[in-house]
Amino acid sequence: SQTIHQWPATLVQPVGSPLSLECTVEGTSNPNLYWYRQAAGRGLQLLFYSVGIGQISSEVPQNLSASRPQDRQFILSSKKLLLSDSGFYLCAWSLQYNEQFFGPGTRLTVL
Amino acid sequence: GIQVEQSPPDLILQEGANSTLRCNFSDSVNNLQWFHQNPWGQLINLFYIPSGTKQNGRLSATTVATERYSLLYISSSQTTDSGVYFCAGGNAGGTSYGKLTFGQGTILTVHP
């Protein structure tokens, strides 16, 4: 069966520091991958999606970037964190653009 | 883009009560999911329901695609049903790539 992992689970970083969050999927091939952010405990906002290795699409302009170096690996990065980057980051996967399945998330606090 | 409106924003129930949560979409979707977010933040898939009716135990969902809404029914609610319920919709084909737009959620609290 398929599983999705995210790490770290929690992260506290100072303003201006770099960021790297990792998401990996097991048990499937060529998944579509998505990064979402949840702020203030309510709705999720799509940040990036990827339909293949090296293919990244951004949904909103921001201080973050994404990369997909391997088929089942999706990385969210920043060179310099802002206070407004705090939030709960969730990675998701799907096949054939259908049902999405989410990872456990990373809770990021920028101080 | 698609707008998703969920109602009610908050719901307080006594254990054993039934409830209905609603999700309205501003445009047609052929990708529609309901989730329950647990206290640790994990999104649990409840239903993938672009159209029709599905049931899973005490939960059921109905989507009327032509009228752009979906309903989630919770019967005989339990304290463990507490949490945030999200609906999300999008389009599976073309250049939409299955992207989901989420509603703002319904916070459900079930008291014993």
B56-108 pLDDT per residue, tens: 999 999 999 999 999 999 999 999 999 999 999 998 777 778 889 999 999 99
Using the predicted structure, report yes or no on whether residue B1 has a pLDDT greater than 90: no
The mean per-residue pLDDT over the stretch B34-39 comes to 94
Per-residue pLDDT at A41: 62
Q: Which residue has the tokens 């991958």?
A: A33
Rounded Cα distance between A89 and A87, Å, is 6
Adjacent-strand bridge partners of B88:
B33, B102
The mean per-residue pLDDT over the stretch B18-33 comes to 95
Q: What is chain A's pLDDT, residue by residue, as a tens digit (111 residues)?
A: 889 999 999 999 999 999 999 999 999 999 999 999 998 767 899 999 999 999 999 988 789 999 999 999 999 999 999 999 999 999 999 998 789 999 999 999 999
Per-residue pLDDT at A67: 97
Tokens standing for B68? 């752009």
A107: contact with B, CB 8 A cutoff: yes
Interface residue of B43, B54, B108 to substitute, partner A, most A CBs within 10 Å: B43
Under 8 Å between Cβ of B59 and B49: no
Q: Tell me, what DSSP letter sits at residue B42?
A: P
The mean per-residue pLDDT over the stretch B24-46 comes to 94
Interface residue of A32, A46, A95 to substitute, partner B, most B CBs within 10 Å: A46
* A38 CB neighbour count, 10 Å cutoff: 22
Q: Which strands form A19-26's sheet, in the order they lie side by side? A: A3-7, A19-26, A73-78, A65-70
Give the 3-state secondary structure of residue A17: coil
